[in-house]
Structure 1
Amino acid sequence: MGTSSDIDAAFAGDDLVLRLACAAYLGRFTGSSRIHCGSDLRLYFCWCTEHQLLPLLVARAEVERYVRWMQEIRRFKPSTVARRAAVVSGFYRTRVIDGVIDHSPAEYVRRPRVPNESPTLGLSHLQFEALLTAARDSANPFDFALTAMLGLLGLRIFEACKSDVDDVGEEHGHRVLRVIGKGSKLALIPLPPAVGRAGGHPAVHRV
C-alpha cells in the first residue's frame, strides 16, 4: 500500500491540509479501488468549489444537498449515488479518526436504498451461445478469448485483460487460472471443461 506522499491528490486544490487529508484517505486503497475513490472525491470537491464551500468546513446540510444534486440534477442511478456518498462519508470518518475534524458532517446523511440483488439481468443460454459463436467467427482473434473468459469464468474485465497463458496451472489435480482480483487478492479460478476446449483456440494462447 502506498503512502500519502506518493499519491496524487492535486484535484483537492491548493489547500495543503485538504490535499494531505485526501491523500491519507486514498492511501487506504490500492489499484482500481483507489482510482475509483479518487474519482468520487474529485466530483465532490468540484461540487464544493462550485458552491463556494470548503470540504473540511461543511455542515451536514451541505452534504445532504450534494446527495440530492446527484439524484435530481445529475440523475445518477441509486447505486452510483450510494457509492459516491459512501466514499464521501468514509473520507470524513477517517478525518475524524485522524483528528483533522471533530465530527463527520456525513454521519447522518440519508443515502438511497439499493437492493441486495442486482436488477440487471444476464444473458440467456441461447443469447450467450450466439455471443460465443459471433466471437469465434470474429476477424479479431482476441474476441473469442475475452468472451470465453468473461462468460464462462465470470471474470471482471480488468481481471481478464491482465491474465496471461502463464497464469494457467494446476492445483490438487485441477486446472486453474490464477487471477489478481480486487484489492490485489490472488484467486484460483477452476477451468471447467468448456473453457478447456476453448483453450484450444489460438486466440486464447495469446491473451
Structure 2
Amino acid sequence: MLHATPNGAPVLDPATKLAVDGFLDRYDNPSTRELYEIDLRIFLTWCRTHGIDPLAIRRPQLEAFSRYLTLERRNSTATVAHRLGVVRSFYEVAVDDELLDRNPARLLRVPRVHTDPARMIGLDRREFGAILTAARHHSPDRWALVALLGLMGLRVTEACSIDVESFHQRVERGHQVLSFVGKGSKPATAPIPVPVLRALEEARGDRTSGPLLVRHDGERLDRRTAHRWVKRLGVVAGIDKPVTPHALRRTYVTLALDAGVPPREVQRGARHAKLDTTMRYDVARLDMDRHANHSLAAFVAGAM
C-alpha cells in the first residue's frame, strides 16, 4: 500500500516502486520522463488518498480517477486523455514485467480528443515576419530562439539543448550545419540558412563552448522560460492570438508548404516520423484556401 510523507507526497511500497521505476526507466528523454513522472504522481497520490493499492486496483476505481481529473482537477479533455493513457501504459508494462496478471486499465474509457484542423496552421508570413523582427530588436537570444523554431522547425526542447559547439565551425559538404539530438534521442544534422546563422552568431558572441541560449541568471534556457519569451514576443509583435514555441514549429511546416516545398522534403525538415503527419498540415491550409464557403459566396454574389 501507499503511505504519505509529511508534505502529502506518496511513499511507495517496494512492489509499486519497482513497477513505477520499471515504467519510467523505459524513457531516456529527461523531458518525457519528467512529464510521465508527474502524471503518475498525481495518480498514485489519488490512490493513497482513497486507500487504494495501485497494484490491486479495479477498472471502476480507474473510472473514478478519470472523473476526479475532469471534475475536481478540471483538466482539459486532452490532458485527461493523456494522463489516462500514461496510466494504461503503466499497467501494460507492469503486466509485461510479470508484476500483474492483467491490465486493469485495458477497458478504461479514455475521452476522445477532437482537434480542429485549423489549429494546425501556424502563423502566416506577415505574422511570422513581425515576431522575428520583434525578437531581433529585443535580444540575440530571443532572435536565435525564434529562428531555430520557425526557420528550422526545431522543437522547443531541441532548441534549448543547442550548444555553441553544435554549430560553431561545423561544416559539411560546404554547408554550415547544426547537430543536435532530436525526439526519441535520435541524432540529427541540418544545414543552417544564412538568416538563422546570423542569429546564432549574434547569440554566440565570442563564446566557443557552452549553451547557446541562456536565461538572465546565466543558466541554460529551459522550456518554461522559452514559452514565456515567445508568448511575450507575440504580444510585442501585435499578434492577436496565442503564440507558443510549438506554434512556431507549426509555422515552419505551414510556410514551407506555402513556399512550394514538396511535402516529402517538409517531412524530412520537420523530422516527422510519418508523411501523414505533414499531410495533415497541408490539408488544413488547403481547406482554408479552397473552402466551399468561398465558392458559394462568389456564386451567390453573381445573382445580386
Bin for the TM-score computed over the shorter chain: 0.7 to 0.9
Unaligned runs of 5+ in 2: 1-8, 213-304
Structure 1 outlier segments of 4+, above 6 Å: none
Amino acid at match of 2:99: V
Q: TM-score, normalised by structure 1?
A: 0.84
Post-superposition offset of 1:141: 2.9
Between 162-171 and 25-34, report the one with greater CA deviation: 162-171
Post-superposition offset of 1:68: 2.1
Residues 59 and 108 in structure 2, CA contact (< 8 A), matched pair in contact too: yes
**Counterpart position of 1:149:** 148
Hey, what's the Cα distance between the residues in 1 that align with 2:24 and 2:88?
13
RMSD across aligned positions (CA): 2.2
**Counterpart position of 1:192:** 193
Alignment of 1:13-162 (within 5 A): 13-30=11-28, 31-115=30-114, 119=119, 121-138=121-138, 140-162=139-161
Q: Deviations over 1:151-178 (max 9, x none)?
A: 2112122211111232123344443311
Amino acid at match of 1:203: A
Amino acid at match of 2:193: P
Amino acid at match of 1:17: A
Residues 144 and 196 in structure 2, CA contact (< 8 A), matched pair in contact too: no
Between 118-127 and 72-81, report the one with greater CA deviation: 118-127
Hey, what's the Cα distance between the residues in 1 that align with 2:111 and 2:10?
26
Residues 135 and 142 in structure 2, CA contact (< 8 A), matched pair in contact too: yes
Q: Deviations over 1:80-124 (max 9, x none)?
A: 212111110111111111221111110001111124658365222
Hey, what's the Cα distance between the residues in 1 that align with 2:196 and 2:54?
50
SS at match of 1:87: helix
Post-superposition offset of 1:150: 1.5
Hey, what's the Cα distance between the residues in 2 that align with 1:54 and 1:119?
40
- How has the CA–CA distance of structure 1 residues 190 and 64 changed in structure 2, closer, same or farther, with 3 Å as cutoff? farther
Hey, what's the Cα distance between the residues in 2 that align with 1:56 and 1:118?
42
**Counterpart position of 1:5:** none
Amino acid at match of 1:175: Q
Hey, what's the Cα distance between the residues in 2 that align with 1:124 and 1:73?
38
Hey, what's the Cα distance between the residues in 1 that align with 2:143 and 2:107?
48
Hey, what's the Cα distance between the residues in 1 that align with 2:156 and 2:149?
7
Identity, % of aligned positions: 41
SS at match of 1:130: helix
Residues 33 and 183 in structure 1, CA contact (< 8 A), matched pair in contact too: no
Structure with max Cα Rg: 2
Hey, what's the Cα distance between the residues in 1 that align with 2:106 and 2:200?
50
Post-superposition offset of 1:12: 5.0
**Counterpart position of 1:6:** none
- How has the CA–CA distance of structure 1 residues 141 and 192 changed in structure 2, closer, same or farther, with 3 Å as cutoff? closer
Residues 177 and 188 in structure 1, CA contact (< 8 A), matched pair in contact too: yes
- How has the CA–CA distance of structure 1 residues 61 and 118 changed in structure 2, closer, same or farther, with 3 Å as cutoff? farther
- How has the CA–CA distance of structure 1 residues 107 and 73 changed in structure 2, closer, same or farther, with 3 Å as cutoff? same
Q: TM-score, normalised by structure 2?
A: 0.59
- How has the CA–CA distance of structure 1 residues 50 and 83 changed in structure 2, closer, same or farther, with 3 Å as cutoff? same
Amino acid at match of 1:122: G
